[in-house]
């Protein structure tokens, strides 16, 4: 299938793609197809837009997800995820008339509200692993989770926006939140 | 740092050989070396020097492309370990390669290996609890397994001995079922944990919640620094604040000048001399050159970790011991135990929204066993009991994944701490059962020509009955403690996830039904000692490592006395 060949010659595939369409990306995906990378870019920008603090795109969260997609998934996992991305765009086209990246901000928002309402949730976590057997949460919520991970584990957010405390010293169990302010980044 | 003596070429004969350098092997080496024995430690993997060989100890998430996750390629050789969910880029080098150490799972059994100097002492959870006579008398009283040949009074001084050197923090409570250690100051509970503790203890007389007892220094000890609450323990601690062989026992052994450690040394079998009626040494395969080398000693300590030790014994055959060294009873390889894992409840706590904490405390709370501890608490649903570990903390940005929200306000709301969350997860005692076993597969050899192992074990009726009770009690305690959005859970894990595998070469009073005597000597081969988890006769419900330490120190000192009396 087409997605398979993309992994064998990713740079060539990306190059062909970007010649054929005007890419919205200012970076070249290593693993995702350009179309899917554009979907990821527009999704993370909608989920974590720029405010007084930087947005996901400034933190290169889309590039990070490209890497995660390529490095943390088996080939089968990548194919499944690529298919889910294509299905997501097909749904956008079906309901709102075009692929997600090309929707108006209102339509993007409407679609994500629906995804939020319909996507299964993550189980609670015990020491970093799921409590109980985790059912699949679907493409949208897993991508949202990746977006949060990429954004909040970035150096700018981790060091300069959240509270960075690499060597806390002896544990203090009960202090005023006001003394700390933001969430710890580590 | 230590500059370990690894020259095992000039000398093939030692006073003692210790197979393995993890939690129990490190203690054997320290005790034997300090008593003046020239000791050779055989290490299956590479050397890991304290601090020098902790390359990832200061990494922040953004220092790594994948922010700490390990890639599919990195995990290709670690498919078993991957199931634990504990492995990433920062600690993967301390886990063994499963591809090099294949085993067959007749039933699902997660066997976590750590093949380097220090073994799993670099990775362990550091929870440290004394056993009590409730544990040592359990088999005798309810008839499961055989009677322990020791009681609390036999091991109590050795608990104190190892605790003073290892450094154990905790709160003394005077509970009969969970004797106090020689404690450093306890770590602190946070405000929510303190509230929940008060409510549980009020609502459930007889139940207690305390701060976890852990092998983390809460004040400096012997040149080691106190815990800095970084919670990056499994990468190696730059302060030496948690107990590991690498930071604590092996440097002490090395300081005597009596230690030689040989890395890349797979102990394939113990050499038995039929005329002498004792073991004379260990046959070693160099994992790099695949050459076989023999080392000789007066006494041999087996500390390769539970299942590996039994593999070595099963593979040590002779005319006298056709079915494995010391296996006259037929019990070698049987009675494999673990603790049940990942069954409990979690919920959210209202209040203390203006409070936070400082530090990533590498420790939680503990609720000691309260079933079947006396007449009032006896139940006919199951024998033995369980305890809980748990913790409260505030959720962070990760909670955003489940929130039905997105956009700028959503993003900025995740910059401040979220709800207080609390969980408890149970650890139930596992009965010794002859059917739960490991055995050699002589048709499938590893790359060094050794028979591989088959693991055939599962939790049975009593453990599953306790798991049911764990979840019921957990939900009830959280309800009465005033939590909301309570969810009970049971991951229904097979064995191994507790990473507390025990048994397979049990201690006992009768050579007909056990492998080891009350001093951890193989009944029929008195100069071979087994003091890792393989020796355990029952499993208690508390974490076993402290007991391995104490049993090892006790047996090592006994061995030296016997050598001095020329009894070995």
Domain extents in chain B: 13-56+74-127+243-334+438-453+501-564, 169-230+340-428+460-490
Are the beta carbons of B48 and B117 closer than 8 angstroms? yes
- Residue B479 C-alpha, separation from nearest chain A C-alpha, in angstroms: 17
Phi, psi values for residue B437, rounded to 5°:
-145, 165
Rounded CA gap, B562 and B568, in Å? 6
pLDDT of A12 over the 60 cut: no
Query: Is the CB of B356 less than 8 angstroms away from the CB of A176?
Result: yes
Query: Looking at the predicted structure, is the pLDDT value of residue B486 above 60?
Result: yes
At which residue do the structure tokens 């036999």 appear?
B154
Count how many pairs of residues, chain A against chain B, have C-beta atoms within 8 Å.
202
Cα B325–chain centre separation: 25
Residue of A49, A73, A77 with shortest CB distance to B407: A49
Confidence of residue A22 (pLDDT cuts 50, 70, 90): low
Q: Of B84, B361, B406, which is closest to A116 when you measure between CB atoms? A: B406
Q: How far apart are CA B23 and CA B35, in angstroms?
A: 19
Cβ–Cβ < 8 Å for B214, B124: no
Q: Does domain B13-56+74-127+243-334+438-453+501-564 have CATH number 3.40.50.720?
A: no
Give chain B's count of helices (H) and strands (E): 12, 20
Structure confidence at residue A11 (pLDDT) = 42
Nearest chain B residue to A66 by CA distance is: B66
**Is the distance from CB of A180 to CB of B356 less than 8 angstroms?**
yes
Position A24 confidence tier, pLDDT thresholds 50, 70, 90: confident
* Residue B165, both tokens: 């050197």
Closest by CA to B549, choosing from B255, B124, B256, B231, is B124
Global pTM value: 0.95
Burial bucket for residue A52 (CB in 10 Å: 0-12, 13-18, 19+): exposed
The 3-state secondary structure of B153-174 reads HHHHHHHHHHHHHHCEECCCCC
**Which chain A residue lies closest to B195 (C-alpha atoms)?**
A174
Residue B531 pLDDT more than 60?
yes
Task: Give the mutation candidate from B345, B397, B403 for the A interface (greatest A CB count, under 10 A).
Answer: B397
User: In this structure, is the dihedral angle defined by the CA atoms of residues B125, B131, B134 and B139, taken in order, positive or negative?
Assistant: positive
Q: Which of A122, A126, A170 sits opposite B226 (nearest CB)?
A: A170
Residues 6+ apart with CB under 8 A from B289: none
Query: pLDDT per residue over B457-474, tens digit each?
Result: 999 999 999 999 999 999
Average pLDDT over residues B515-540: 98
Q: What is the pLDDT of residues A102-124, one digit of tens each?
A: 999 999 999 999 999 999 999 99
Per-residue model confidence (pLDDT) at position A23: 64
Residue among A148, A158, A184 whose CB faces B401 most closely: A148
End-to-end CA gap in chain B: 35
Which pLDDT value is given to residue A5?
34
Q: Mean pLDDT for chain B?
A: 97
Query: CA B53 to CA B94: how far, in whole Å?
Result: 10
**Three-state SS at B309:** helix
Interface membership of A145 toward B (CB under 8 Å): yes
Of A116, A125, A171, nearest to B359 by CB-CB distance is A171
**B71/A72 Cβ within 8 A:** yes
CA atoms within 13 A on the CB side of B255: 11
Write the CB contacts of B468 (distance below 8 Å, at least 6 apart in sequence): none
Task: Please tell me which residue of chain B has the smallest CA distance to A142.
Answer: B401
Per-residue pLDDT tens for A133-177? 999 999 999 999 999 999 999 999 999 999 999 999 999 999 999
Q: B357 by DSSP, 3-state: which?
A: strand
Secondary structure (3-state) at B367: strand
The H or E element spanning position B75 is helix B72-75
DSSP B476-518: HHHHHTT-EEEEEEE----BTTT---B-SS-B-S-TTT-SB-T
Look at residue B2 in the predicted model and tell me its pLDDT.
67
pLDDT in tens, B148-190: 999 999 999 999 999 999 999 999 999 999 999 999 999 999 9
Smallest Cα distance from A152 to chain B, Å? 7
Residue A14 confidence class, pLDDT cut points 50, 70, 90:
very low
CB contact under 8 A, A148 and B85: no
Task: With beta carbons less than 8 A apart as the criterion, state whether B258 and B393 touch.
Answer: no
Place of tokens 């969350």: B421
Rounded percentage of chain B residues whose pLDDT exceeds 70: 100
Which residue reads 């092996």 in tokens? Answer: B250
**Where do the H-state alpha helices sit in B230-373?**
250-255, 306-315
CB B315 within 8 A of CB B324: yes
The predicted pLDDT at position A129 comes to 87
Q: Mapping DSSP to helix (H, G, I), strand (E, B) and coil, where does residue B463 land? A: helix
What are the tens digits of pLDDT across the range B547-563? Answer: 999 999 999 999 999 99
């Amino acid at each position: 299938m087409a997605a398979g060949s993309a992994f064998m010659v990713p740079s060539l595939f990306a190059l062909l793609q970007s010649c054929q369409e005007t890419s919205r990306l200012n970076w070249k995906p290593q693993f995702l197809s350009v179309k899917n990378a554009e979907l990821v870019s527009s999704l993370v920008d909608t989920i974590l837009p720029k405010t007084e603090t930087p947005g996901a795109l400034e933190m290169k969260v889309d590039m990070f997800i490209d890497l995660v997609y390529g490095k943390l998934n088996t080939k089968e996992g990548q194919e499944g995820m690529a298919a889910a991305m294509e299905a997501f765009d097909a749904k956008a086209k079906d309901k709102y008339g075009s692929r997600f990246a090309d929707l108006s901000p209102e339509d993007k928002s409407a679609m994500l509200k629906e995804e939020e309402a319909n996507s299964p949730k993550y189980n609670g976590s015990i020491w970093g692993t799921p409590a109980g057997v985790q059912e699949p949460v679907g493409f949208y919520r897993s991508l949202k989770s990746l977006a949060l991970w990429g954004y909040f584990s970035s150096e700018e957010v981790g060091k300069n926006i959240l509270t960075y405390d690499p060597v806390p010293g002896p544990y203090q169990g009960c202090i005023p939140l006001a003394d700390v302010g933001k969430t710890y980044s580590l | 740092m230590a500059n370990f003596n690894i020259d095992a070429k000039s000398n093939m004969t030692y006073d003692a050989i210790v197979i393995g350098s993890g939690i129990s092997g490190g203690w054997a080496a320290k005790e034997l070396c300090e008593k003046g024995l020239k000791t050779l430690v055989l290490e299956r993997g590479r050397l890991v020097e304290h601090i020098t060989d902790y390359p990832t100890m200061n990494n922040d998430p953004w220092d790594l492309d994948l922010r700490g996750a390990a890639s599919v390629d990195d995990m290709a050789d670690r498919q078993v370990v991957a199931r634990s969910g504990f492995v990433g880029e920062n600690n993967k080098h301390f886990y063994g390669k499963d591809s090099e150490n294949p085993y067959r799972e007749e039933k699902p059994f997660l066997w976590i290996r750590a093949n380097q100097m220090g073994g799993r002492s670099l990775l362990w959870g550091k929870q440290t609890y004394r056993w009590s006579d409730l544990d040592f008398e359990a088999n005798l009283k309810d008839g499961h397994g055989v009677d322990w040949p020791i009681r609390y009074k036999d091991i109590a001084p050795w608990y104190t001995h190892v605790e003073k050197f290892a450094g154990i923090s905790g709160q003394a409570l005077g509970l009969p079922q969970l004797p106090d250690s020689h404690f450093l100051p306890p770590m602190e509970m946070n405000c929510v944990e303190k509230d929940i503790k008060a409510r549980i203890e009020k609502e459930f007389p007889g139940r207690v919640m305390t701060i976890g007892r852990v092998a983390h220094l809460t004040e400096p000890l012997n040149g080691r620094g106190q815990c800095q609450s970084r919670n990056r323990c499994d990468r190696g601690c730059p302060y030496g604040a948690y107990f590991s062989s690498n930071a604590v026992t092996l440097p002490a052994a090395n300081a005597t000048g009596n230690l030689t450690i040989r890395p890349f040394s797979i102990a394939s079998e113990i050499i038995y001399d039929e005329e002498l009626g004792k073991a004379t040494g260990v046959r070693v395969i160099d994992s790099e050159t695949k050459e076989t080398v023999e080392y000789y000693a007066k006494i041999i300590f087996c500390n390769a970790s539970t299942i590996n030790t039994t593999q070595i014994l099963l593979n040590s055959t002779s005319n006298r011991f056709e079915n494995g060294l010391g296996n006259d009873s037929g019990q070698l390889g049987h009675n494999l135990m673990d603790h049940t894992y990942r069954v409990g409840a979690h919920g959210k706590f209202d209040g203390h929204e203006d409070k936070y904490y400082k530090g990533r405390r590498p420790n939680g709370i503990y609720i000691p066993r309260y079933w079947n501890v006396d007449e009032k608490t006896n139940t006919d649903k199951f024998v033995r009991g369980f305890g809980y570990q748990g913790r409260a903390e505030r959720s962070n940005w990760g909670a955003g994944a489940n929130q039905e929200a997105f956009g700028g306000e959503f993003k900025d709301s995740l910059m401040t701490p979220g709800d207080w969350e609390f969980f408890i997860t149970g650890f139930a005692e596992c009965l010794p059962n002859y059917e739960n076993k490991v055995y050699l597969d002589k048709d499938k050899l590893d790359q060094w020509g050794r028979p591989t192992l088959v693991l055939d074990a599962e939790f049975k009726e009593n453990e599953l009955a306790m798991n049911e009770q764990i979840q019921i009690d957990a939900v009830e305690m959280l309800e009465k403690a005033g939590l909301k959005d309570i969810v009970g859970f049971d991951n229904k894990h097979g064995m191994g996830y507790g990473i507390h595998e025990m048994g397979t070469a049990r201690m006992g009073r009768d050579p007909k039904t056990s492998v080891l005597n009350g001093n951890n000597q193989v009944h029929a081969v008195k100069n071979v000692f087994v003091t890792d988890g393989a020796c355990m006769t029952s499993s208690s419900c508390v974490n076993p490592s402290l007991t391995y330490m104490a049993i090892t120190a006790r047996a090592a000192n006994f061995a030296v006395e016997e050598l001095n009396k020329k009894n070995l």
